[in-house]
């Protein structure tokens, strides 16, 4: 500071020890205001970079770009006019340094609209590429799904029957099916896949079922065989753990068409896996497989129909946006025999009561999961492992020393994980301590308690997925959420988990509380992360972008008109690896 100059200060004023003070204020010379007296941007910072420095860098960058003619416009003139959007130069300047909030709002609207429009256009084009250029398989109208439905030892729900009808109509048309099958944990998606597979096989085609883990693939194999063996349908398993000789035998029979349904993990994507006549591909747990893997397995047939199953419920409006290249079917009711899982949110004070409750359940013959949160990968990878091992030692040697306690975590070899899960399934383990690796679909009907440590560190969707691991048998089941912290957000999230078992309600709430960035952070949906759009708060712009995209694609499918040249560039820039443009 220089004597005689005037400065403007910004900060929190406090009265301490008889003096007025501002701790670490932001300040400027009056003639040269950069950081006070106006709206200023706040950026995420990295190592030893200050807000001040970064603002200067960005201001200089914008100035330099504008001196050289400015940023090139990415949206056509007719769209800017029709939807009253700012041009790209002004929007980019005002998103950083707006004169007032109205300028900021207009700049943000323009940038969000552009981001969502390009995403929608790309998805619509992928969908249209699938529709127009390639004829799909027309499956046999005389093969009736009802043959399997009537042979089942239980009744399907109305929702399952509705979804099967949608799939049946799809399979009988010549349009290639690309369908997202959404259903809550335990809503009976697998049986829908099974009945669809029956139709494909009896029409003379083979089916590939892709599962994210070996144990889930093995479980599918057993379920498929139980239902389809009586129809003389041959199912086989292809996972990395099988012997070389066995694998060669399977590959040979697959190529000769002697295997009707192949169920497996990533091992199925390998080059040497050849089908004689692949007609249907079913991918389980969609978010574990990226779009490219989905496409890769589909390329093993001539435009096979594709069903993508997901137990992570996404609100319908969002599913339309994220999976704009897929049709959507939703199983929105649970089978009548599914038990409601009683959920309790407790603090550490209740630890002893919870432990006694676990002992009581195990003494009655039930089993229990205890889940530790996974530490973010960016941190030290050993921490989550340590959490599991520490808890395991305490449970094994102190809290539950009279019971059989085991642990499982993501760093184990697949073979070890499968072995432990299969021992747990057989009832040889009473209490299983785990990271979130157990969240995917394995059925242990005898497990009736799920305890989640530090529940505040999980997203709601993940908590709901984990809770779905219990309540799969005839026994009353419980989920205990142990949490720390008194924050309003934490309490609200725990409350929602205790109040509802509906995955769609939960995912909507999750989105509200966490914003779309976090919500989709765990999903490899193959869509670039949004830099500025928030799918929850920007729903109105999203709907507008969707309408505009549909209108444009209907009039100019491949964006070949002169007026859409800029849009074509924009989409290409963002989605090159996913589009054949």
Q: How does pLDDT run across 310-332, given as a tens digit for each residue?
A: 877 776 666 766 666 677 888 87
- Residues 6 or more apart from 473 whose CB is under 8 A from it? 444, 445, 446, 447, 448
Q: What is the pLDDT of residue 581?
A: 36
Q: What is the pLDDT at residue 414? A: 72
Sheet-wide strand order for 342-346: 342-346, 478-482, 447-452, 367-371, 431-434, 405-408
What are the CA-CA distances from residue 151 to residues 156, 433, 581 (Å)? Answer: 11, 39, 47
CA-based nearest residue to 209, from 299, 98, 285: 285
Distance CA 294, CA 92 (A): 36
The sign of the dihedral angle between the CA atoms of 426, 430, 434, 439 is positive
CB 342 within 8 Å of CB 479: yes
In a domain, 316, yes or no: no
Structure tokens that stand for 508 in this block: 């909507």
Give domain status of residue 380, yes or no: yes
Asked if residue 561 lies in contact with residue 553, where contact means CB atoms within 8 angstroms, the answer is: no
| pLDDT of amino acid 342 | 92
Which among 126, 214, 235 has a CA at the least distance from the CA of 176?
126
Total count of domains within the chain: 4
* Residue at 426 is within a domain: yes
Residues 55 and 169 in one domain: no
Whether residue 388 lies inside any domain: the answer is yes
In a domain, 111, yes or no: no
Please name which of 284, 250, 246, 243 lies closest in space to residue 266, comparing C-alpha atoms: 284
Given a contact cutoff of 8 angstroms between Cβ atoms, the answer to whether 218 and 418 are in contact is: yes
What's the rounded Cα separation, in Å, for the pair 448 and 438? 14
48 with 5, same domain: the answer is no
Q: Are residues 349 and 446 in the same domain?
A: yes
For residues 153 and 218, membership in a common domain is answered with yes
Q: Are the C-beta atoms of residues 80 and 90 closer than 8 Å to each other?
A: no
Is 69 exposed, middle or buried, given 0-12, 13-18 or 19+ CB atoms closer than 10 A?
Answer: exposed
Last residue of one domain, picked from the residues 463, 485, 500: 500
d(CA 477, CA 449): 6
Same domain, 163 and 297: yes
Residue 116 lies in a domain: no
Q: Evaluate whether 535 touches 318 at the Cβ level (below 8 Å).
A: yes
Same domain for 372 and 495, yes or no, is yes
How many Å apart are CA 160 and CA 166, to the nearest integer? 10
- The pLDDT score that the predictor gives to residue 381 is 47
Provide the domain limits for residue 16: 1-31
Q: Based on the fold, state whether residues 354 and 446 are members of the same structural domain.
A: yes
Contact predicate 511/535, CB 8 Å: yes
| DSSP annotation of 405 | E
Domain closes at, from 473, 500, 527: 500
φ, ψ (nearest 5 deg) of residue 255: -65, -35
Do 363 and 490 share a domain, yes or no?
yes
Phi and psi for 514 in degrees, rounded to 5?
-110, -15
Q: What is the pLDDT of residue 441?
A: 57
Q: Do 183 and 330 form a contact (C-beta atoms < 8 A)?
A: yes
Q: How far apart are CA 310 and CA 211, in angstroms?
A: 11
pLDDT tens, residue order, the chain (581 aa): 889 888 888 888 988 888 998 888 888 887 776 677 778 888 888 778 888 888 889 989 998 988 888 788 888 889 999 999 999 999 999 999 898 899 999 999 999 999 889 888 887 777 666 555 567 889 999 999 999 999 988 889 999 999 999 999 999 988 888 888 888 777 888 899 999 999 999 999 999 999 887 878 888 999 999 999 999 999 999 988 788 899 999 999 999 999 999 999 888 888 889 999 999 999 886 555 555 666 777 788 888 998 988 877 776 666 766 666 677 888 877 777 677 889 999 988 888 999 999 999 999 999 999 998 764 443 444 555 667 888 888 999 999 999 999 988 877 777 788 788 888 888 999 999 988 766 555 678 888 999 999 888 888 878 888 888 888 778 889 999 999 888 888 888 899 999 988 887 887 777 777 655 444 443 444 455 678 887 767 878 888 888 888 888 888 877 888 888 888 888 877 765 544 43
What whole-number distance in Å separates Cα of residue 308 and Cα of residue 287? 10
pLDDT at 328: 81
- Return the bridge partners of 207, or none: 261, 280
Handedness of CA 85, 87, 90, 94 (dihedral sign): positive
397 shares its domain with 298 = no
Q: Is the Cβ–Cβ distance between 438 and 467 less than 8 Å?
A: no
Same domain, 239 and 365: no
- Token couple for 143: 């093969």
Structure pTM?
A: 0.67
Give the separation between CA 298 and CA 295, rounded to whole angstroms: 5
Nearest to residue 453, comparing CAs of 343, 346, 381? 346
**Nearest-CA neighbor of 511 among 458, 460, 463, 462?**
460
Q: Which residues contact 110 (CB under 8 A, 6 or more apart)?
A: 85, 86, 88, 91
Tokens 């239980």 correspond to 154
Note whether 165 and 287 are same-domain residues: yes
Residue among 77, 76, 79, 110 nearest 93 (CA): 110
Question: Is 241 a domain residue?
Answer: yes
In a domain, 454, yes or no: yes
CATH number of the domain at 429, please: 3.40.50.300
Instruction: Work out the number of other CB atoms within 10 angstroms of the CB of residue 278.
Output: 25
- The pLDDT of residue 25 is 85
Counts of helices then strands in the chain (DSSP H, E): 19, 17
What is the CB neighbour count within 10 angstroms for residue 34? 15
For residue 285, what are its two tokens? Answer: 């747990």
Inter-residue contact 305 to 281 (CB < 8 Å): yes
Domain boundary among 500, 521, 554: 500
Together in a domain, 347 and 226: no
Tell the residue number behind the tokens 């040697």, with chain if given. 397
Which residues, including other chains, have CB under 8 Å from residue 323's CB and lie 6 or more apart?
123, 180, 308, 525
């Amino acid at each position: 500071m220089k004597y005689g100059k005037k400065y403007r200060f910004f900060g929190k004023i406090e009265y301490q020890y008889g003096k007025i003070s501002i701790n670490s204020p932001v300040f400027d010379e009056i003639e040269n205001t950069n950081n006070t007296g106006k709206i200023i941007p706040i950026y995420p910072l990295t190592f030893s970079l200050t807000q001040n420095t970064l603002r200067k860098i960005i201001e200089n960058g914008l100035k330099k770009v504008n001196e050289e003619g400015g940023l090139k416009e990415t949206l056509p003139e007719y769209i800017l006019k029709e939807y009253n959007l700012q041009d790209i130069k002004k929007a980019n300047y005002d998103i950083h340094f707006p004169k007032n909030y109205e300028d900021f709002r207009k700049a943000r609207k323009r940038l969000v609209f552009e981001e969502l429009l390009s995403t929608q256009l790309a998805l619509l084009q992928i969908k249209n590429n699938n529709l127009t250029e390639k004829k799909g398989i027309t499956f046999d109208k005389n093969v009736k799904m009802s043959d399997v439905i009537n042979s089942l030892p239980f009744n399907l729900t109305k929702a399952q029957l509705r979804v099967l009808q949608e799939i049946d109509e799809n399979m009988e048309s010549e349009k290639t099916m690309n369908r997202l099958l959404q259903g809550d944990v335990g809503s009976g998606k697998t049986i829908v896949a099974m009945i669809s597979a029956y139709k494909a096989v009896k029409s003379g085609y083979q089916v590939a079922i892709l599962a994210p883990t070996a144990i889930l693939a093995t479980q599918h194999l057993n379920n498929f065989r139980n239902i389809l063996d009586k129809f003389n349908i041959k199912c086989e398993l292809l996972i990395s753990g099988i012997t070389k000789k066995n694998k060669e035998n399977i590959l040979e029979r697959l190529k000769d068409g002697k295997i009707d349904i192949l169920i497996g993990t990533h091992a199925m994507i390998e080059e040497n896996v050849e089908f004689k006549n692949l007609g249907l591909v079913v991918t389980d747990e969609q978010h574990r497989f990226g779009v490219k893997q989905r496409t890769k397995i589909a390329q093993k047939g001539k435009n096979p129909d594709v069903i993508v199953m997901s137990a992570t419920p996404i609100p319908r409006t969002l599913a339309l946006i994220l999976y704009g290249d897929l049709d959507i079917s939703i199983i929105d009711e649970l089978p009548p025999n599914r038990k409601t899982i009683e959920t309790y949110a407790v603090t550490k004070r209740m630890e002893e009561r919870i432990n006694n409750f676990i002992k009581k359940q195990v003494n009655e013959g039930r089993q229990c999961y205890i889940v530790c949160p996974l530490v973010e990968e960016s941190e030290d990878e050993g921490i989550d492992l340590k959490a599991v091992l520490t808890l395991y030692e305490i449970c094994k040697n102190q809290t539950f020393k009279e019971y059989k306690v085991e642990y499982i975590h993501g760093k184990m070899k697949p073979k070890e994980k499968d072995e432990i899960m299969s021992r747990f399934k057989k009832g040889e383990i009473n209490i299983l301590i785990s990271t979130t690796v157990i969240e995917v679909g394995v059925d242990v009907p005898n497990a009736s308690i799920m305890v989640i440590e530090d529940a505040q560190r999980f997203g709601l969707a993940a908590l709901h997925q984990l809770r779905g691991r219990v309540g799969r048998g005839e026994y009353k089941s419980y989920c205990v959420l142990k949490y720390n912290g008194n924050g309003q957000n934490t309490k609200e999230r725990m409350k929602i988990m205790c109040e509802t078992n509906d995955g769609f309600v939960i995912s909507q709430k999750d989105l509200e509380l966490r914003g779309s960035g976090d919500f989709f952070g765990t999903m490899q949906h193959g869509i670039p992360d949004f830099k500025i759009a928030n799918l929850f708060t920007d729903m109105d712009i999203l709907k507008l972008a969707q309408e505009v995209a549909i209108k444009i694609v209907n009039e100019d499918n491949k964006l070949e008109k002169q007026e859409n040249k800029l849009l074509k560039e924009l989409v290409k820039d963002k989605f090159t690896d996913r589009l054949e443009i």
